[in-house]
Structure formats: C-alpha cells, structure tokens
Amino acid sequence: MSANSFIQLFVPKDRKFYPMLEQASANLVAVSKVLYELMNTSSPEKRIPLFRQIEKLEHTGDEITHQIFNETSKTFITPFDREDLQRLASGLDDVLDYIHGSAKRIELYKVETMHPSMVKLAELIMSCSNELYNAISGLRSMKNQMKVREALVRVNSIENHADDIFDNAVARLFEDEKDAIQIIKIKEVLSALETATDKCEDVANVIETIIVKQA
C-alpha cells in the first residue's frame, strides 16, 4: 500500500466535493446535448429556446464552479489536492464557456445553415462530455481506476479526431466557399467548437494527474 493510500484510510469520506463535481459534469453533458440538438435544428425560430437553454445551463455551471471554489477556501481537508480540485472545476467551466460561445456566435452571426463539420464537432463534444462524466463519477472510488483511465483515453482520441475535422473543414471552406463573410462566420464557430474539445482534453489531463497522485 502506498503512503497516499494509507493516509486516505484516515481521511473522512467526502460528502461535498464529489457530488458537486458530478453535478458540474452532468450539467456539461446536458448542455452538450442541447448544443447537438441546436446543430440539427434547421428552423431559426426553433433554435431560439435552445439558445436560451444553453445560456441557462452555462449560468448553472458558473454557480457550481463558484460553489466549489467557496468550499475549497473554507474546507480544511479536501478529497484530493486543493489546486487540482480547483483546476478540475475551472476546466469543466471552460468547456461550458466554449460551448456557450459557439452557440452565441451562431445566434449573433445569424448562421442559417449548419456546416456538416459543425454538426460533427458538436457530436464529438457530446461524446467527450459523457466520457468526462464517467471519469469524474469514477473518482469516488479508486477501485475504478481502469475504467476512469479508459474514459480519459477515449477523450484524448476524440480530441485528436476533432483536430482533424477542424483542419479539413477549414481547408475545404477556403476552397469551396466564395463569400468571405460566410467563411469568417463558419470558421469562428468551428474554432470555438474545436477549442471546446481541447478544453475537454485539459480536464482529462487534470483527472489523470489526480489519479497518479492518489495511486
């Protein structure tokens, strides 16, 4: 048994941080589903409530993040390193911000037709969000390390796939689209979506760090 594992035997079971992290990751899954629905909705009128729903979920995520930071500032013993706990909460919030930013760009730029790669990237964000939820849910018990690591590997793989989709989409966009304004609009949305997958990988890296330290 490692020194960290031995110490954990005497650390009180956490009843605050794991539930809040799971709530934050569940909220991320929810907003990613709305984003994917938005990308597959052709009617501008039907998109409006989806924009508002994403905004609401983004505010919910901000509240959870704020709550986690408040708790870390006044809690003497945390389930793992205080800095990693804050990095994990911030990372989840970053993903949420870029999802919201993607939707905001679609709304503000009045994007009428969704580029196929935008739809695909939204699907990958949804997959990443589900994997992060699975990984964070598995942090409560270090007995699930293998399942957690498998979820993290899938996040890294999805992010690599997203990079390829983004690069190919931008290349095709400059070849096929003649309207410079449309190029700027679509590229801005694609960039925000691709960055969201980068932020998912950042969260996965924080979780990996936590696992290594807890081993």
CATH label of the domain that carries residue 127: 1.20.58.220
Whether residue 9 lies inside any domain: the answer is no
Contact 31, 57 (CB under 8 A): yes
According to DSSP H, which parts of the chain are helical? 3-8, 17-39, 44-74, 82-108, 116-137, 145-176, 180-214
Whether residue 90 lies inside any domain: the answer is yes
Whether residue 41 lies inside any domain: the answer is yes
Whether residue 120 lies inside any domain: the answer is yes
Token pair in block for residue 86: 């804050």
Q: What is the spatial distance between Cα 6 and Cα 18, in angstroms, rounded to a whole number? A: 20
Whether residue 139 lies inside any domain: the answer is yes
Q: What is the spatial distance between Cα 81 and Cα 86, in angstroms, rounded to a whole number? A: 9
DSSP for residue 110: T
DSSP for residue 1: -
The residue to which tokens 């942090």 are assigned: 139
pLDDT in tens, 145-176: 889 999 999 999 999 999 999 999 999 999 99
Q: What is the spatial distance between Cα 119 and Cα 186, in angstroms, rounded to a whole number? A: 12
Q: Give the Cβ contact number of residue 82 at 10 Å.
A: 12
Q: What is the spatial distance between Cα 68 and Cα 194, in angstroms, rounded to a whole number? A: 27
Question: What length is written for the chain?
Answer: 215
Whether residue 3 lies inside any domain: the answer is no
Report the predicted TM-score, pTM, of the whole model to 2 decimal places.
0.91
Nearest to 123 by CA among 196, 42, 45: 196
Whether residue 1 lies inside any domain: the answer is no
Q: What is the spatial distance between Cα 181 and Cα 150, in angstroms, rounded to a whole number? A: 42
Contact 68, 89 (CB under 8 A): yes
- How do the pLDDT tens digits run along the chain, 215 residues long? 444 444 444 444 556 889 999 999 999 999 999 999 999 999 999 999 999 999 999 999 999 999 999 988 887 777 778 899 999 999 999 999 999 999 999 999 999 999 999 999 999 999 999 999 999 999 887 677 889 999 999 999 999 999 999 999 999 999 998 899 999 999 999 999 999 999 999 999 999 999 988 76
Whether residue 46 lies inside any domain: the answer is yes
Nearest to 169 by CA among 123, 126, 103, 118: 118
Range of the domain at 145: 15-214
Structurally, the chain folds into a number of domains equal to 1
